Structure 1
């Protein structure tokens, strides 16, 4: 009788523990991760950029100003759980991290600004009167002008159009640590290999929202319907996570993915219930790849 009661106690205890498992996370490349909500009630958070040394997340989102919709840039301190608006940037939208100098630059309706971590505001840098769509810094300083979508680079104390892209519209621009170039526009997602220097189309189906690189040099593409990685041997991309209305993504200091949908920002963290939750969720992605087929 005593053994029977002990057995029943163990069954009940196991059942209670199982019921307490909350599988509200996400399958990423066939591995289950818990999903931590960082911020909610936002308007389409774009251009997520992490300043890892201060644990500060920068992002842009839409705000209602009277009868019009505009953009503003905000910061979120992951350690202190504090948000603040970056003052001094009308229509703040573009954000870039300068790894060489550990600086953050932002752009809006009226030029490019440098973020001051002491005053937590932005100071004018260049291109007064220009509307800035995108910023990127690695060795060289690039910006995309709106609405022409022309790519510019900083040379000899001034910005000039990139000669190779004079006749190309650019919506997203990224160079890797190896100096391969990725860019996208309304036509497709392209890669320019640092050796061949010839553009290669990787995909013409997805709407690219952001391109990022992890600490291992792997490239991740945030699309409107999920996250993709480059399937390098075959010049194509592979979907690793289904996310409806993805708007931005970045990595924290531990290489955990932070991403946004139309009204919130989340972080994926390793789960103690990975196997249990994976078995309860539908398959995350089909076993297919997008782009050129292998020759």
Structure 2
């Protein structure tokens, strides 16, 4: 009886599914746009995500005015934050507090009350932030990396000679950072950083605190294989420039495609894909290839979802 039920359902899924674009291939699974959070707007600063509530935070300009928003990825609605101009953003996933920088200083935002207050380093311009058990930050046009303890800054002395453009802190508190167009790692407990890759990458972490890297020219997606501490290829974006990338509470992808000024929300569909490499040198590109010309329904928030045209 069970087999008689399963086979028709399987046939329904494959026969009724509509073609969905494969914007990214990650771990051999196609990711397709679930939503366009916004289009034709210039995003500046960091993306940050509250993975418990699945809310994305970002700053953008519209007609010369600054806005900072919280977008609910589940409900597809947004809220304006009381601070207009912000740049660096980081979320404490335990308390859900958002830390964000203004023209000067670090502010702390309470999402339940939609209020913000000055938190620390009121006389500094903050460039980048990351929260992993504690708050890490860099200062605009200054060398070094800092943490905050009891609202007071503390410099990491081993990094005070590095001008850090981008950084992440993974689940083991290893710090990966970009400096002078190269990727370095400062491992937890070590005495000095080491050159990891002599290439430019955009850096991010997933919901498990694992380190990911996006190569802007080839569009390749890489992550750390924690069995051997090496970088391994796990996918690619199909087109454009994925300038900013974060993973939500389901490890689905939010990314800003800077050439078209679109902020995408991608979720996996039941379709397989592979990544190949074409070209050499500066012309080297990752190419996403679908294994089938038909998709099954997407997986979103742990459920199968169908478009209305897919339902009999």
Common fold by TM > 0.5: yes
What residue in structure 2 maps to residue 54 of structure 1? Answer: 53
Q: 1:265 to 1:255 in 2, by over 3 A?
A: same
In structure 1, distance between residues paired with 2:245 and 2:166 = 13
What residue in structure 1 maps to residue 293 of structure 2? Answer: none
What SS does the aligned partner of 1:248 have? strand
What residue in structure 2 maps to residue 8 of structure 1? Answer: none
In structure 1, distance between residues paired with 2:246 and 2:52 = 14
Deviation at 1:79, TM superposition (A): 2.7
Q: 1:79 to 1:187 in 2, by over 3 A?
A: closer
Please tell me whether residue 247 in structure 1 is matched to residue 234 in structure 2: no
Give structure 2 stretches of 5+ with no counterpart.
1-11, 280-312
Deviation at 1:72, TM superposition (A): 4.1
Give structure 1 stretches of 5+ with no counterpart.
1-12, 289-295
Q: Answer whether contact 1:111 1:132 (CA < 8 A) is retained.
A: yes
Deviation at 1:182, TM superposition (A): 1.2
1:205 aligned residue (199, 207, 214): 199
What residue in structure 1 maps to residue 100 of structure 2? Answer: 106
Deviation at 1:195, TM superposition (A): 4.2
The alignment of Structure 1 onto Structure 2 pairs a total of residues equal to 262
Larger Rg: 1
Please tell me whether residue 82 in structure 1 is matched to residue 62 in structure 2: no
1:1-295 to 2 correspondence within 5 Å? 20-41=18-39, 42-44=41-43, 46-65=45-64, 72-89=67-84, 91-155=85-149, 157-206=151-200, 208-215=201-208, 217-225=209-217, 226=219, 227-231=221-225, 233=228, 235-238=230-233, 240-242=235-237, 243-262=239-258, 263-272=261-270, 274-275=271-272, 278=273, 284-286=275-277
In structure 2, distance between residues paired with 1:111 and 1:84 = 23
In structure 2, distance between residues paired with 1:235 and 1:188 = 16
Q: 1:103 to 1:259 in 2, by over 3 A?
A: same
Query: What RMSD in Å do the two structures reach over aligned CA positions?
Result: 3.1
Q: Answer whether contact 1:92 1:108 (CA < 8 A) is retained.
A: yes
Deviation at 1:58, TM superposition (A): 0.9
Q: Answer whether contact 2:106 2:126 (CA < 8 A) is retained.
A: yes
Q: Answer whether contact 2:90 2:131 (CA < 8 A) is retained.
A: yes
In structure 1, distance between residues paired with 2:20 and 2:231 = 35
